[in-house]
Structure 1
Amino acid sequence: MTRRSPVPHAVLAVLALAAAPATLLPLLGPTPALAQDVPPDAPRPGPAATELTLSGTGTVHAAPDRLTATLFAESTAANAATAQGKVNALVRQTLDAANAAGGLTTVTEGYFVQRDDTARPQSSQWTARQTIRLTGADGAALLDLVGKLQARGLALSGLDWSLSSDRRQELTSQAEAEALKDVRRRADAAATVLGMKVATIRSVSLGDRTMPRPMPMMAMAARAAAFPPSAPAEEQDVTASATATVLLRP
């Protein structure tokens, strides 16, 4: 007599499910695959975003508020000591006059002594020279002082208007604001053309630069300074740039 092994209950359940008519399957409950359906209240994925990178600029114009006068004291003599002594005296007089005027920043630089015997080797000469820079906010007062220093023997080599650090920072902030507005205008315009709208701004970077307008100035000999030099303060441009990455959505 052959003895049969009992069939496990789990196997019998699977065989019964497979043999059941299709009409009875819904009554038996959801299958594992049907149990993974997305619930009706689950959030749906939004429309794809389009990334757009663009840049803008902003420029403001303003008159400079600081004038720098560059002068030099020079002397030529038969020996170095005499040439240096005359230059040192002129520089000392210049610094004293600048301190007495008040409101000026003084910088001395470029001191040198040089022997020149190319033209007449038998009678060599020495030339001493030093540069002085005077900077102040009152341009008229500084120009008046420069005229007096030229009469004492100094020569003028340059006049340069510029912006003080505080004024430059103020103007830079204004230019940056204009650059950001330009970026936003360009982003809105691009979105309109593409039939989209600006969803968010992902990143922004800023940069700035000052564009001084050069004022040519030739060196003037002291004898030619019958009156103070003129230096009209022309407006300077402060420009800022902005680059942004924005996301556009339908």
Structure 2
Amino acid sequence: MSDGKTTQTKNQRILLAGILAAGLLAAVFATGQLMAPQSATAQDNGNQTSTQPPVTSADDVDCATDPSLVHCAEDAELISAPIDDSDKATLTTSGSATTKTQPDRFTVTVGVETSGETAREAASQNANMTATVIAALQELGIAEEQMSTSSYSVYPVYGNSSDRVCIEIYPPPPECQQTEITGYKASSSISVTLDADGEVDAGQVIDTAIEAGANNVSGVYFFLSSEKQQDVRDGLIADAIADARQRADAAADALGMQVSGIHSVTLNDVHFPIFYSTPEALKADTQILPGEQEVTSTVSITYFISGGVADEGEDGSMAAVAAAREFILSKLSGLGIEIDDELDLHTDMVAQISENEYHLEFGVMDTEGQSHDGHIEIVDGEVTVAILDGESML
């Protein structure tokens, strides 16, 4: 009986071990199936990555797109590209221009001052008189939008409450410090702004206002309108820059050098004076003459200066640049491109291809503010290729 139980126990253990072994094998198989697709994917990704072309540099892409660029040529030696200007010689000059001009606008300020025992009375009288003045100015042909109230106030008037005569000393005696309100005053002023060459002049405005009841004229201001200021400013700046350039050329010539570029420009503010006139109060037929105003503009310019135009004994790159500039300047007008100054033509990059061959990139800024880009190739001092805005210049 004992032997039977032992045998049964052994069989149960063997069966349990078999079940565990079968489960383990199933788990290993399932894991292998899951890993296989991932491994295959990784291998595919690896193969895909290895077949991608290598990343090219920006220069390679540029050269593939446009092999005419100077740095794409074989054995090209870069002479200059973006140039460091820190070691270049500079010359700073100032220029000025002055002109006389007549103001085209004026402002007249007239006022009314009234008194009353109460603030309401003073203000009421002032309002009536001001309305009369405004109506008279409108009859003169002045529109409402050409007039504006520039000031208005109502204030008390103080007086001594004692009949005693007080001397002017400081501090005043106690009995002289007792003051009380004895009345009120109201004051208002109107500013009229018109064209200086219009049908109504400043004198007519003053006389009409006084006849209508105005008892205060603050003054007359003649000035330049914003539009005329801009016209005068533009003309002065151009003349001042021309003056500075003339002085720079003279200085560079005395040094045996020449102006080769602009480093910086400083434009100083143009100050427009205001002509002020105070007419004699309550005088009929007032004559107000604006006269001329003198306006001055100044500029300060720092130029780059260099030696004279390269000859055969000097650096070949300088000779190439000089030859290129001469060629370009001779062709611009025929291409319908106008420039204000030769400095509007600038060389951006020079590359020496061989002992006697140079390639240049250049830019031109025309009088309308449009930029033009070009490429030139020079062999033995002669232009063999010239392209501007994608078109041949030859």
Q: Please indicate, yes or no, whether the TM-score normalized by the shorter chain is above 0.5.
A: yes
2:303 to 237, 246, 249: 246
1:89 to 118, 124, 128: 128
Distance 1:160 1:142 in 2: 9
Distance 1:59 1:248 in 2: 28
Q: In structure 1, what is the equivalent of residue 213 of structure 2?
A: 153
Q: 1:122 offset after TM fit, Å?
A: 6.3
**Is 1:118 paired with 2:159?**
yes
Q: 1:59 offset after TM fit, Å?
A: 1.6
Q: In structure 1, what is the equivalent of residue 44 of structure 2?
A: none
Distance 1:205 1:98 in 2: 46
- 1:118 partner SS: strand
Q: Is the 8 A contact 1:55 1:241 kept in 2?
A: yes
Name structure 2 gaps, 5 residues minimum.
Answer: 1-75, 81-86, 162-178, 308-394
Q: Map 1:1-250 to 2 at 5 A.
A: 49-100=88-139, 101-102=141-142, 105-119=146-160, 121=179, 124-137=182-195, 138=198, 140-154=200-214, 155-212=216-273, 214-217=275-278, 220=281, 224-225=282-283, 227-250=284-307
Name structure 1 gaps, 5 residues minimum.
Answer: 1-40
CA offsets 1:86-132 (integer angstroms, 9 cap, x no match): 11122223333334413562120221111111356567011110121
Moved more, 161-170 or 49-58: 49-58
Q: 1:152 offset after TM fit, Å?
A: 2.0
Distance 1:213 1:102 in 2: 23
What TM-score results when the alignment is normalised by the length of structure 2?
0.48
Distance 2:160 2:124 in 1: 24
Q: 1:64 offset after TM fit, Å?
A: 0.6
Q: Which amino acid aligns with 2:259?
A: V
Q: Which amino acid aligns with 1:106?
A: M
The change in CA–CA distance for 1:128 and 1:194 in structure 2 (over 3 A counts) is: same
Q: Is the 8 A contact 1:67 1:139 kept in 2?
A: no
Q: 1:204 offset after TM fit, Å?
A: 1.9
Distance 1:192 1:126 in 2: 75
Percent of aligned pairs with the same residue?
25
Work out which structure has the larger RCO, using CA pairs closer than 8 Å and 6 or more positions apart in sequence. Answer: 1
- 1:232 partner SS: coil
What TM-score results when the alignment is normalised by the length of structure 1?
0.73
- 1:179 partner SS: helix
Q: Is the 8 A contact 1:58 1:176 kept in 2?
A: yes
Distance 1:152 1:94 in 2: 5
